[in-house]
Structure 1
Amino acid sequence: MRKLRQNQPFIFQQDNAPCHRAKKVVEWFAEQKIECLKWPANSPDLNCIENLWSWLDRELAKVGPRSLDELKRIVPDILEKVPKSITENLVDSIPRRINECLKNKGGVTRY
C-alpha cells in the first residue's frame, strides 16, 4: 500500500485459506495495524487476483528467468508495468463474478 501511495484507510482482502490464518500471519497483520476483511471459510473465490497471476505467468514465460535470483529481480519489474486496462478489466469483472456465483448458488463458476 505504501508503494501505491495509498494513505487512506483500507481493508485487506484474502481468501481465508489456512496459510493466511497461520498464527504468524495473523500476528503480522495485527502488528502492522492492517484490518483484514472477514471472509467465510470454504467460500467461492471471487478474487480476480488469480487472473492477474495468469497474466504474470505469461509475461514471465516471455522472459524465461533461469534462476530464483533472476525471478526475484524480474517479477517486480513486470508488475510495475501491468497495463491499466488489465487492472480495470479485472475490477470491472467483479459484478459478473458475483452474479455468476449467486446463479450457481455458490458453486463452481467459469472464473
Structure 2
Amino acid sequence: MEKLRQDQPFIFQKDNAHSHRAKIVTEWFTDKEIECPKWPANSPDLNCIENLWSWLDRELAKEGPRSFGELKEIVPEMLERVPKKVIENLVDSMPRRINACMKNKGGVTRY
C-alpha cells in the first residue's frame, strides 16, 4: 500500500470472508482511513490478488524454502520486493476485469 498510496485516497478490495469482517479488521481499516467498498463474495474474476499470489508462488519456487520457518522469513521479504510494475498492472487490470464480468453477466471470464 505504501508503494502506491501517494496523495490519493486508497480503496482496499476485500471479499466477504469471515476473517475480513472481524471487528478488529474493520476497526483497523477505519483507523487507517482506508475505504473498503462492498464486494461480491466468491468473485475470483474481480480479485486481482490471486495474480499476486501466483507471482509469489513463482518467486518462492526460485528460493525453495525447506521449512516453515524459512518460509515465514522469506515471504515478508519477497512481499517487500514486489515490483511496483506488478502492482500497477494488477490495479490497472480492474476496469477490464469488471467489464468482462459484466459482459458475461457475472459468469466466468479469462481472469
More helix per residue: 2
1:1-111 superposed matches below 5 A: 1=1, 3-4=2-3, 6=5, 8=7, 9-30=9-30, 32-42=31-41, 44-45=43-44, 46-111=46-111
Contact 1:14–1:36 (CA<8 Å) still a contact in 2? Answer: no
TM-score scaled by structure 2?
A: 0.75
Map Cα deviations across residues 72-94 of structure 1 (whole Å, 9 max, x no partner). 21112222322333223222222
Change (3 A) 1:59 1:92: same
Q: Which runs of 5+ in 2 are unaligned?
A: none
Task: Give SS of 1:106's match.
Answer: coil
Aligned length: 109
Contact 1:44–1:101 (CA<8 Å) still a contact in 2? Answer: no
Contact 1:12–1:34 (CA<8 Å) still a contact in 2? Answer: no
Map Cα deviations across residues 22-77 of structure 1 (whole Å, 9 max, x no partner). 234334434x3444422144363312111011010111011111222211211122
Give me the whole-angstrom Cα distance separating, in 1, the residues matched to 2:22 and 2:84.
Answer: 33
Q: Which runs of 4+ in 1 moved over 3 A?
A: 3-9, 27-30, 33-36
Give me the whole-angstrom Cα distance separating, in 2, the residues matched to 1:40 and 1:91.
Answer: 16
Mean Cα displacement is larger for which, 3-12 or 73-82? 3-12
Q: Deviation at 1:5?
A: 8.3
Give me the whole-angstrom Cα distance separating, in 1, the residues matched to 2:63 and 2:73.
Answer: 12
